[in-house]
Amino acid sequence: MRSTVRRIGGRCAGLLLAGVSVVVGCRAADSDGVTPVPQFLAFLPWLLAPTGGALLLALLARWWAGLVWGTAVLGLLAWYVEPYGRSGEPGGPVVAELRVLTSNVKFGRGTGSLIAVIRRERPDVVFVEECEHGCRAALERTFGDTLRFRRAVAAEGSAGSLLLSRFRLRDAAGVRGTMGMPGAVADVRGRPVRLQLAHPAPPLPGQVGVWRRELGRLRDFAAADRRTPTVLAGDFNASQDHAAFRRVLDTGLRDAARLAGHDRTPSWPARTAPAFGVQIDHVLVSRDFSANTARFLDLAGTDHRALLVDIALHGRG
């Protein structure tokens, strides 16, 4: 009887370790793999739980090879939980301070809550994803005097997006995608700043190729001009554990939440955050910016938490 229990425990441990190893192996290979690997990669830190369970089962089953295997997997997970990307402070003096807000309002359902947040927090630039016609009309009507400059992709459902700014904007091409990703160039105290909303397709089964391709376009946008200060913000449908998102960071952009000490704070799903979730909403900034604070805010009506960051634009030394 005891040997049967050990055998079953060893098999269960092996199954758990095999599943986790596939995901960790793709992370080590700098690849997002195929479904369901991209979906599990989003929750990479939480794979510590099944790995710990497998180690316990292997110990009870006296499966020594499994203990070695599990320890190796645990070590890799601990290594990859560390923040990815560059940090450090820009060298020049502060030219301007900006408050940036990004929020996915889920087909416009979170518009009312977002309006209350904008009134309270008074951001200088706002990126709004899944902002359909009603959402756009409400925001433009409410903030026509304060956030006077705007660019939008007018569409229903998740395809609509809106960029609002206190600073004067001039047109930019934006990034082509399944959902709207408008762009603009802001005049911030006489300095041009590229603003680009990010909202690539999610990595749903059967759509991983589209998701990877649209994140690649965001990467190309970031790499196209490394001299002009840049803010790339929105719902990336990706975390730092996705290779396609790390390619964007590899252009030199830095995650403002990480710079402010919140590299693993969940933004989705809002129903379980902050206890459980993943950070897929980001504000990425070029090396011209430092980040002072980052806050994730709960909004009614949407499954995403809004991200509010205070950043400072520096003159290059």
- The 10s digit of each residue's pLDDT in 134-181 is 999 999 999 999 999 999 999 999 999 999 999 999 999 999 999 999
Global pTM reads: 0.95
- Paired with 28 in beta bridges are none
CA atoms within 13 A on the CB side of 258: 23
Which of the following CATH numbers is that of domain 94-314: 3.30.70.890, 3.60.10.10, 3.40.50.300, 3.20.20.370? Answer: 3.60.10.10
CA distance 114 to 300: 9
Residue 80 is predicted with a pLDDT of 95
CA distance 274 to 266: 6
Q: Is the Cβ–Cβ distance between 294 and 311 less than 8 Å? A: no
CA distance 25 to 44: 12
Q: What is the greatest pairwise CA distance in the chain?
A: 78
| 71: its two tokens | 């320890």
Q: Where in the chain is the domain with CATH 3.60.10.10?
A: 94-314
170-217 per-position pLDDT tens digit: 999 999 999 999 999 999 999 999 999 999 999 999 999 999 999 999
Residue 33 is predicted with a pLDDT of 95
**How far, rounded to the nearest angstrom, does the alpha carbon of residue 91 sit from its chain's CA centroid?**
26
Low-confidence ranges of the chain (pLDDT < 50): none
Other CB atoms within a 10 A radius of the CB of residue 79 amount to 11
**Helix/strand/coil for 22:** helix
Residue 2 is predicted with a pLDDT of 64
